[in-house]
Structure 1
């Protein structure tokens, strides 16, 4: 009983860490889920929920009942998902409250920190591709990087975001949860919706948040299965494209830039920004190392267990 309670508390803390990560550009919630060992169960549960919604929409109106939808709901790892959700909300709100004054008062220093976070997070999809890289994968990385560099150089919108833009951006950003190394909040940052979303969270703008939540539901329904399929059937190419998109998007986090996103030479606060940049790299690098150690331990334990079974036989 105490072990089960401790495990649930651990999932709540993991959820809080994922919530904080989703608010910070550069740290992927998917990466945190990987590091803490809940990634596969979260993704599997998301797939079951999408299936349940699809079966309910097709079966219930035809009088076929909830049998197939209920079966999918029972397959979800609720013992993991519910504690994670309980922890994610306060983690997200606390991070949002902390970040908004930093973004407003110290934009260059904040971008310097985020630049370090994102640059180091590229290690995740790159390392997941494995070795050796094929020419077509290198080409895909370069094309994705160039495209992302061009897109993130477009002037950021300063007007009140259109609801349709918010809807689409939320649908795309939520998919970052299933892609370790890709930050949903960073995607929002590149299209100019990061600060409006943070402000809406802090000011409890329920109209904006309702549109954003609707976009998240649409994104999960439409894209999760597709992304799962891509990672299963075209894993290396998908990860190569993700790596290139991250590298190209670093343009938007260069600390010294104009309001129109024109890059400028380094100016004031170089020392402070450099320290924050290195700090950001160190944080994500530590997470990557922790993940690799966990995977190595799991592989070693599996090998030892297999050996013991073979000895008994």
Structure 2
């Protein structure tokens, strides 16, 4: 992989990290838009298999053969740069976006509304045409479910370690599922602020429990999602599109702390301008990714037709 593409994956990782810190925005959606989603899911599946085979084979003295085979199938050239970008993206967003959401809530949500609304074009286009009735129904049902979920009032839960563990396991499912925001789920459970504070204060005890929950959730969920994408690709993408559309409720600029939606009020012009900016940013990302894929396919075709040199 060229150096430029690796650098591009670092920036994609940073964008995913930023998205995960924003309630209502899904890191999985950004991964889908930037073209790395399926490789990330496949790599996560191989990592889960690596751990499973290591735990089952090594104690029985069967060696590391199966675990090693799975480990070699991970797309390390994609995963490592993404992780390098995600951590600073998450830390910077945790530090900077919280005051923006507090001081400029309508404008900030307007920007993210444009980003996420434009992102739905990706799974819709991946389903292809024509859409079958069952796929349309799945989109509608998933959209309604996401709309209801994002309208739930914020809860208040004491951050007991067991609660944090379970919440992290659920939130990491949102990390790999486009349209579902892990931060929003934490906000609904009343754990968003404690988690952000733990990141900013470097509370290693809290973060260790949270990371353990993420590993557990990832191990339980990612294999199911990988199987769905392999066996029921169109239906799964239709559900993803519905979830993204339904989750837009969380990003409606004019709403109360209890998530009651209001008609457009103040700051309409800046909100609309930022909304259009968000749409434009994602449109540019989609066009750039499609051009990159076409260029890669063209280069691969040219290489296949090259005649080996005779020495």
TM-score, normalising length from structure 2? 0.84
Partner of 1:101: 99
1:233 lines up with 2:231 in the alignment? yes
Q: 1:146 to 1:158 in 2, by over 3 A?
A: same
Larger mean Cα displacement after TM superposition, 74-83 or 207-216: 74-83
1:201 lines up with 2:199 in the alignment? yes
1:268-310 CA distance string (max 9 Å, x none)? 111121112111222112212222222333344445555x369
Q: 1:190 and 1:119 mapped to 2: Cα distance?
A: 21
1:118 corresponds to which of 116, 119, 137: 116
Q: Is the 8 A contact 1:124 1:181 kept in 2?
A: no
Over the residues paired in the alignment, what is the CA RMSD in angstroms? 3.0
1:228-257 CA distance string (max 9 Å, x none)? 110111011111111111111211221112
Q: Is the 8 A contact 2:32 2:122 kept in 1?
A: no
Partner of 1:285: 283
2:242 corresponds to which of 241, 244, 256: 244
Q: Is the 8 A contact 2:18 2:92 kept in 1?
A: yes
Q: 1:133 and 1:191 mapped to 2: Cα distance?
A: 36
Q: 1:138 to 1:193 in 2, by over 3 A?
A: farther
Q: 2:4 and 2:124 mapped to 1: Cα distance?
A: 34
Larger mean Cα displacement after TM superposition, 85-94 or 37-46: 37-46
Q: 1:174 and 1:206 mapped to 2: Cα distance?
A: 18
Q: 2:61 and 2:205 mapped to 1: Cα distance?
A: 35
Partner of 1:23: 21
Runs of 5+ in structure 1 lacking a partner? none
Partner of 2:52: 54
Q: Is the 8 A contact 2:112 2:275 kept in 1?
A: yes
1:133 lines up with 2:131 in the alignment? yes
Shift of 1:227: 0.6
SS of alignment partner, residue 260 of structure 1: coil
1:211 corresponds to which of 209, 212, 216: 209
Q: 1:80 to 1:277 in 2, by over 3 A?
A: closer
Q: 1:12 to 1:217 in 2, by over 3 A?
A: same
Q: 2:286 and 2:188 mapped to 1: Cα distance?
A: 24
Q: 1:261 and 1:26 mapped to 2: Cα distance?
A: 12
Q: Is the 8 A contact 1:27 1:284 kept in 2?
A: no
Q: 1:147 to 1:5 in 2, by over 3 A?
A: closer
Q: 2:74 and 2:285 mapped to 1: Cα distance?
A: 27
Shift of 1:200: 2.6
Q: 2:290 and 2:5 mapped to 1: Cα distance?
A: 22
What is the aligned length?
A: 307
